[in-house]
Structure 1
C-alpha cells in the first residue's frame, strides 16, 4: 500500500489539476477537482487540447479572447465531473480582485456555461481570491445559487469573512506562491505540522469553524511543495486536501510502512472536530503575525462582508504579509492568464 492510499483513508483527497488522465489514474474516486489560471492555461495549451481550443475560437473568437478562455476553463473541467464524487472548481480572474461587479459578472458567465454543459449547480463552485470585494460578491452569488470557494486565504480575517459570506468551501494556502517559484522561500523543518509557521493559523481556522452553530465553508487546504507537507495536513485534521499532480505521483511512489490506519476521517462539517492534542499549543501562537502577537484572533464580532467588504480590505491593507502574498498570487495568475491571452489572440488573428 502507498502513502497515497493511506492518506485517502485519513482525509478527503481532491485533485489540483485539470487533467482527466490525472483524475482517472488514482486508485480511488477523488472528491473535488480544483484549478486556477496556471492550471487551466497549462492544460489548454497542451497539444491534445488544440482541437478544443480551435473549436472555441471558431465559435467565440469574435467575442474576444476572454470569452474563449472562460469557455475553455468550463469545458476542461466539466468533462471530469463523471470521475469525481464532488465538484469541479475554476477561478475568477485576478484582474477583478477588487471589483465586485466584475467578479459577479464573470461568475454568472461561468454559471451559464456550466448550465450549457449540463453541469448542475451542486457539481461546481467558483474560486474567488478573497478580497473584500470577493466576500461581498460571494454573499450575493450565494443568493443566486452560485457556490463559491474563498481562495488565496492567508489569515483568520479572510476565514471569518468566508463564513459570513456563505462560501461553501475555503482554501487556505499552506505555502505562499513564492515558495513554488523560489526554493529559498520554502519552509524546511523536521516536523512540518508542528513547525511550519502556517500551521497555527490552519488550526485556528479549523477550531473557529468547528465552534460555529451554522454550516461553515469546507476547508480544502492547498499549496503544498512536497508529499511530506501534504501528509502533514492529515495530522492537523484538515477535512480535504487538494493535491497537485506531482505530489499525487510522489505519494503514490512512497510505500506505507506505518501499519494499520486507526483514525477516521475528519468530518467536512466539523462535527466532533477537536484540535489534535500534539498541536494544541500551536493554536495559541501565530509566528506569521507582525510584531508580538496579542493572542486575539478574528471573530464574528466584526462584519467583514458589509459595505463591500470594507473591514476585510482594511485589514488586508494593514497586514504587510497578507497583502504581499495576495499581490504575489495576483501577479502569478495574471501572468498565466496573459500567456493564454497571447495564444488565443494568435489563433483569432490566424
Structure 2
C-alpha cells in the first residue's frame, strides 16, 4: 500500500492546486486554491482557451480587471468541480481582510457567479483570512447557508474564534509556522517536535475534546513527514509534489491524532478585545498573518496586471 493510500484511511485528502492534470491523477475529495495558485493556473496551457474566452468577453462588456479576476476564479472553480466529487474553495480578495461587510458582499457575488455557471453553493467553500473581521463575515455567511474555509490561521486565538463562530472549516498552516521557528532556532525539527505539526495537532485535539463541529484541515506542508505526522486530522490539503511522493512510497500509516479524549466544557466565546490581545501575544502569528495577507494581495494585484495587459493587447 502506498503512503497516500494509507493516509486516506485516516484523513480526507484535499489537493492544494488548481492544476486539472494533477486533480485528474490524484482524485482528491476537495480542492483548495488561493491567489498564488490561481496566478500559477493563469499560465497553465490547459486553461488558456478558457482564459482567452473570458478576456474577450470582459473586453466587450468593459469589465474591470478586479471583476475579471472573480470571473476567472469561478471559471477555474467550475472546471475543478467537474473533476472532484466534493467542494472547491474560492477566496475573497485579501484586500477585504479587515472589512466584514465587503467580505460578505463579495462572497455572495462569488456564489451568484457559481450559480449562473450551474454550480450549487454546496459545492463551494468561501475562503476568508482569519482576521476578526473575516471570522465575523464567516459567522454571518454560515447563517446565510454559505459554508466557509478560514485560512491564514496561525494562532490558538484564531482557531478558538472560528470554533465560537461555527465556521465550517479552518485551515491552520503547518509549513509557515515551522518556517518561522526554524529561521529563529537555526535548526531542523524532527516530525514529532515540529512546531507547525504541534500547533495543528493541538487544534485537532481541542476540536475533538470540546466536540466542535468545525472541520480542521492541515495546510501549507513542506515535507511528507509533516503530512504523515498529522494523519488522523479531519482533512489535509497537499500540494501535487507531495502527493506524488506519498503515492510513490510504500509503508504503513497510523493516526497521530487523539480523538477519544474526555469531553470538556467549551470555554466562553472570545470577545473582540480578548481575541486581539491573545493573538497579539503570539509574535509568530502576528507576523505570519500580516505577511500572508500582503502576499495574497500582491498576487491578486499581479493577476489584475496580467489581465490588464491582455485586455490592452486586444485594443
Q: Which residue of the partner structure matches residue 196 of structure 1?
A: 194
**Displacement, 1:338?**
2.0
CA separation in 1, counterparts of 2:126 and 2:187? 29
**Which runs of 5 or more residues in structure 2 are unaligned?**
none
**Which runs of 5 or more residues in structure 1 are unaligned?**
267-271, 276-298
Pick the aligned partner of 1:301 from 256, 268, 279: 268
Secondary structure at the aligned position of 1:63 is classed as coil
CA separation in 2, counterparts of 1:103 and 1:319? 25
Q: Which residue of the partner structure matches residue 323 of structure 1?
A: 286
CA separation in 1, counterparts of 2:153 and 2:217? 11
Structure 1 residue 45 and structure 2 residue 43: aligned?
A: yes
Structure 1 residue 227 and structure 2 residue 224: aligned?
A: yes
**Displacement, 1:160?**
1.3
| 1:43-101 Cα shifts (integer Å, max 9, x gaps) | 02223322222221222342211111111111112212233232110111111111112
Please provide the CA RMSD for this pair.
2.5
CA pair 68-205 structure 1, distance change in 2 beyond 3 A: same
CA pair 88-187 structure 1, distance change in 2 beyond 3 A: farther
CA separation in 2, counterparts of 1:77 and 1:337? 16
CA pair 173-253 structure 1, distance change in 2 beyond 3 A: same
Determine if contact 1:9/1:265 at 8 Å carries over to the other structure.
no
Q: Which residue of the partner structure matches residue 206 of structure 1?
A: 204
Q: Which residue of the partner structure matches residue 78 of structure 1?
A: 78
Determine if contact 1:187/1:196 at 8 Å carries over to the other structure.
no
**Displacement, 1:144?**
1.5
Secondary structure at the aligned position of 2:9 is classed as helix
CA separation in 2, counterparts of 1:175 and 1:211? 25
Structure 1 residue 340 and structure 2 residue 307: aligned?
A: no
Pick the aligned partner of 1:274 from 251, 255, 260: 260
CA pair 220-17 structure 1, distance change in 2 beyond 3 A: same
CA separation in 2, counterparts of 1:176 and 1:187? 15
| 1:184-222 Cα shifts (integer Å, max 9, x gaps) | 5797223x1x20113333233222212335x52111110
Instruction: Give me the TM-score of the superposition, normalised by structure 1.
Output: 0.80
Determine if contact 2:178/2:195 at 8 Å carries over to the other structure.
no
Structure 1 residue 249 and structure 2 residue 244: aligned?
A: yes
The range that moved more, 167-176 or 312-321, is 312-321
CA separation in 1, counterparts of 2:97 and 2:281? 17
CA separation in 1, counterparts of 2:93 and 2:178? 19
| 1:276-304 Cα shifts (integer Å, max 9, x gaps) | xxxxxxxxxxxxxxxxxxxxxxx632434
| Pairs aligned (count) | 306
The range that moved more, 44-53 or 114-123, is 44-53
Secondary structure at the aligned position of 2:137 is classed as helix
CA separation in 2, counterparts of 1:82 and 1:57? 22
CA pair 74-238 structure 1, distance change in 2 beyond 3 A: same
